[in-house]
Amino acid sequence: MNKLEKLFDRIIGKVNISLRGFNFDAKEYLKYLQNYIPLRQLVKFYAFYGFIGHQPFNFHFSRSNLAGSYFLGNCMVDNAILYKSDIRGDELKSKGDTINYQDIYFTLDHDEKVRIQDSILIKTLVHNCSNDPANFELFLIKNAASAPYANIHGSLVEGCFLGPFATADLTRLHGCILGTYAYVQTGELWKENIGNGRILIRNDNNFEFSYRFSPRVLDRYIRFKIGQQPSGIFIDFIRKRKEAFQQIFDAVNLEPPPMVPKSSSLSRYAVVRPKTHIGENVLVSQRAYLENSFLGNGANAQENCYIINSRLKGDNVTAHGAKLVHARLAKNVFVGFNAFLRGTADCPLDIGTGSVVMPHTIIDLKQPVAVPANHLVWGYIQHPDDLKYNSLSLKKFAAVRLKKTIKTMKFSGNGAAFVQAFRHRIQHILEANGAYFDGKHNRGHAQQEQDISFNIIQPYMTGPRKGLFPTLDIQP
């Protein structure tokens, strides 16, 4: 057994200890990962990191395998296995920033860092900054394991297991399990098991939004059984487009397509197929897939998102892992994490101005559907009639004061606060991504990442360290 295999077992042991008490055998799930990603896969793919002149960065990697993973900003990785994951430390807090946490003010002593220790992350996205009030300078992921297409977004994750397509969003997780396609945004969670297909948003005593996919529906889209690889429509969809990424990862330098305006940036690790139009102030991140689509001014396409035969009018957010097929989005439409929106040529999806598609929403059309402007959409939609039970105008939502239940969607608390929180966040995302750049002010990722440099690192190919990467420390 070489060092990497020992590391795998060591991490399994740590996750198991953290999750003792649940009727859940983390080891069995992780064993699947071990079969799914044998040593030869972990040796096969290079890792890469990007840096930009005016942005702070520090990469430190030791005793880890980083096969196929990408790093940006401040990232420390020790004793970890990161397989085709994206660790974006480019929205971290900076030294001198002052944070207001419930009217207690903190000023940061040093730049925040993403630190990943004793963890196995598979095709997982890590982004944003920590919301841990005890550790504003540390975005920690420790003793954790995640299955493919999980998102860890501004979330401390300690001693947890995240299922496939699960999202931890602005939530400190200690000793938790997030089931398949589960989404949480609750501030903090201690030793909870969030079941498959559950969507849970909770803001202290202000509001709670909850939805749960029926197991019958969820199984068609994504299922994850002990001893098996994740499968279902989500996986088939991604697998079908896998090869297009192969060639862009095999070339060191690709000429950028000429169609990208100066105010926009298109990652050279994104797939762009004809005929795609990219407007001003557009960010297209690595591992995004664009085909025959129009991205209007201020639109963005984040990691693991697919935009196919679609039209985004402008100022649109397509969050990490969201998929759009035959969709026409008016201005300011937001599509949340891992949402799956699939129309067809005959049954397109229209979404009106300012509407919000909740994270982890599935819209898979049998008939044309048009979501009106300024609506909130959630759950599972196939027909126009489904909108009755899976959408509500933002105005009506904001008017909710105590409780609102629509089939499996349960909302309680202050609707206005809920709507306001979403609006505020969408504004922040557009700002951070550079949608409001005027040629001088309001620079964001779209403008900053044009001049990125990429470095490529590889593991040992033989010997006891086979699959581990050397110890690297990179600074400006």
C-beta of 466: minimal distance to a copy of itself in Å? 7
C-beta of 129: minimal distance to a copy of itself in Å? 22
- Nearer of residues 52 and 108 to a copy of itself, judged by Cβ: 52
Contacts of 176 (CB under 8 A, 6+ apart): 159, 160, 161, 189, 190, 191, 192, 193, 194
- Nearer of residues 416 and 472 to a copy of itself, judged by Cβ: 472
* Helix, strand, or coil (residue 340): strand
Per-residue DSSP letter, 419: H
Nearest to 246 by CA among 269, 216, 212, 276: 269
CB atoms under 10 Å from CB of 120, counted, come to 27
- Nearer of residues 248 and 432 to a copy of itself, judged by Cβ: 248
C-beta of 473: minimal distance to a copy of itself in Å? 5
CA–CA distance, 284 with 268 (Å, rounded to integer): 9
Token digits of residue 212:
């749960």
C-beta of 248: minimal distance to a copy of itself in Å? 10
- Using alpha carbons, list the distances in angstroms from residue 42 to 96, 444, 460: 39, 34, 10
- Nearer of residues 44 and 425 to a copy of itself, judged by Cβ: 44
Sheet hosting strand 193-194, strand order edge to edge: 81-83, 120-122, 145-146, 161-162, 177-178, 193-194
C-beta of 447: minimal distance to a copy of itself in Å? 11
Transcribe 99-120 into DSSP letters.
Answer: EEETTEEEE-SS--EEEEES-E
C-beta of 457: minimal distance to a copy of itself in Å? 4
- Nearer of residues 345 and 461 to a copy of itself, judged by Cβ: 461
Nearest to 380 by CA among 218, 195, 200: 218
Could you tell me if 85 and 69 are in contact, meaning their C-beta atoms sit under 8 angstroms apart? yes
C-beta of 141: minimal distance to a copy of itself in Å? 24
C-beta of 81: minimal distance to a copy of itself in Å? 17
Token digits of residue 259:
């169609």
* C-alpha Rg value of the chain to the nearest Å: 21
Nearest to 356 by CA among 138, 198, 201, 128: 201
Nearest to 140 by CA among 110, 120, 112: 112
C-beta of 304: minimal distance to a copy of itself in Å? 21
CB atoms under 10 Å from CB of 193, counted, come to 18
CA–CA distance, 70 with 270 (Å, rounded to integer): 13
- Nearer of residues 261 and 372 to a copy of itself, judged by Cβ: 261
Which residues are at the interface with a copy of itself (CB under 8 A)?
46, 51-54, 57, 249-253, 451-466, 470-476
- Nearer of residues 22 and 460 to a copy of itself, judged by Cβ: 460
C-beta of 474: minimal distance to a copy of itself in Å? 5
- Nearer of residues 52 and 138 to a copy of itself, judged by Cβ: 52
* Helix, strand, or coil (residue 372): coil
- Nearer of residues 336 and 459 to a copy of itself, judged by Cβ: 459
- Nearer of residues 53 and 227 to a copy of itself, judged by Cβ: 53
